[in-house]
Amino acid sequence: MKVILPAKTRGGVQQMARGLCQIMGREISKGNFNTNIRQMTPRGTLQLPWSINSVRTMAVLPWPFSFQPRDFSLPNSSWGSDMRRLYEHYNSQCEVETDDGEKKWGVWRRLPSYNRSLKYATGGVYLSKIIQSKARLFTRNIRAQGAGFEYVVFVNKQEQKCVCVFQAGHLLEGPPGHVHGGAIATMIDTVTGTHATYLSGPVMTANLNINYRSPISLGSTVLLTCSLDKKEGRKTFVSCQVTNTDSSKLHTEATGLFLSITMGHLLGG
């Protein structure tokens, strides 16, 4: 069954559908339920696939009506052509098809990005209540798409490399028409920190050295490329370059030192 929703009834039906999905997720195990609810909005949609015995159900609801977390690293309507092109370039290398037609992981992996990663980590839902329940990831706080930090991170474990495609929105202005140095530092810290975490587990930034070489225009897309310099005990050294999309112009370069920590370090303050 396919239900096409008139605009007027959106609110009520969305609520009903949300309840329905929650019920399906938790309680339906033997029912014969097969529905396909689709609602498109300019914000984009999230897909909630369910597969319970013979029950095949798919609900597509707009964020924030869905109870699945929004993955901010997926394309949205604010992404410009450079952002989309580079996303496609790396995303197409995340999965490859063998000669037998079998699909397997490629060399790159796209990392999903939530506004509270802790909540969606295994067991994290409890920790996210203990550690500042209202806290949200700094870079994912601006709701309007395209206004702040639009980015997606891909990692390459084999080459111990990581890239981030970053489109800087108009709320990140520093010098007129250009990106604030603090916003650039934020992105460098985020991407090098993510890369160090991917390689070494939980870490915190101990040191970040940044050289700003040429300004970044607001609205433009840049590439952050990170590589592992070395690992020494608890220390992970990462370097990062921020360039234009074809890497012909260097905007910023940085090195970072990350120290492995335990959860106790975070809880201890």
Ligand X SMILES: CCCCCCCC(=O)SCCNC(=O)CCNC(=O)[C@H](O)C(C)(C)COP(=O)(O)OP(=O)(O)OC[C@H]1O[C@@H](n2cnc3c(N)ncnc32)[C@H](O)[C@@H]1OP(=O)(O)O
Residue 59 dihedral angles phi and psi, to the nearest 5°: -115, 135
Query: Residues 91, 190, 241, 252: which binds ligand X (CB under 6 A)?
Result: 190
Bin 46: left if φ > 0, else alpha if -120 < ψ < 50, else beta: beta
C-beta of residue 253 within 8 angstroms of C-beta of residue 226? no
Tokens in use for 168? 């800087």
- Three-class SS of residue 26? helix
Stretch that binds ligand X, among 24-32, 76-84, 100-108, 187-195 (CB under 6 A): 187-195
Looking at the Cβ atoms of 162 and 216, the one nearer to ligand X is: 162
Preceding amide of 64 cis, omega within 30: yes
| Catalytic one of 71, 82, 100, 189 | 189
257 binds ligand X (CB under 6 A): yes
Q: Pattern 216-235, binding to ligand X, x per CB under 6 A?
A: -------------------x
The three-state DSSP-derived secondary structure of 221-237 is: EEEEEEEEEEEECCEEE
**CB of residue 31 vs ligand X: minimum separation in angstroms?**
39
The residue range among 5-13, 65-73, 190-198, 211-219 that interacts with ligand X, by the rule CB under 6 A, is: 190-198
Tell me: does residue 189 bind ligand X (CB under 6 A): yes
Question: How far is residue 187 CA from its own chain's centroid?
Answer: 13
Q: Is 194 in the site for ligand X (CB under 6 A)?
A: yes
Question: Cβ 174 to ligand X, closest distance in Å?
Answer: 19
Which pair of tokens denotes residue 97?
Answer: 């098809």
Backbone dihedral region for residue 131 (phi beyond 0: left; psi -120 to 50: alpha; all else: beta): beta
Residue from 205, 220, 239, 255 in contact with ligand X (CB under 6 A): 205
Site string for ligand X, 90-129 (x = CB under 6 A): ---------------------------x------------
If binding is defined by CB under 6 A, does position 169 make contact with ligand X? Answer: no
Q: Is 189 a catalytic residue?
A: yes
Contacts 24+ apart (CB under 8 A), 174-179: 175/215, 177/217, 177/218, 178/215, 178/216, 178/217, 178/218, 179/215, 179/216, 179/217, 179/218
Q: Of 206, 250, 263, 267, which one interacts with ligand X (CB under 6 A)?
A: 206
Return residues touching ligand X (CB under 6 A).
117, 189-190, 193-194, 204-207, 235, 257, 259, 261
As annotated, the active-site residues are 189
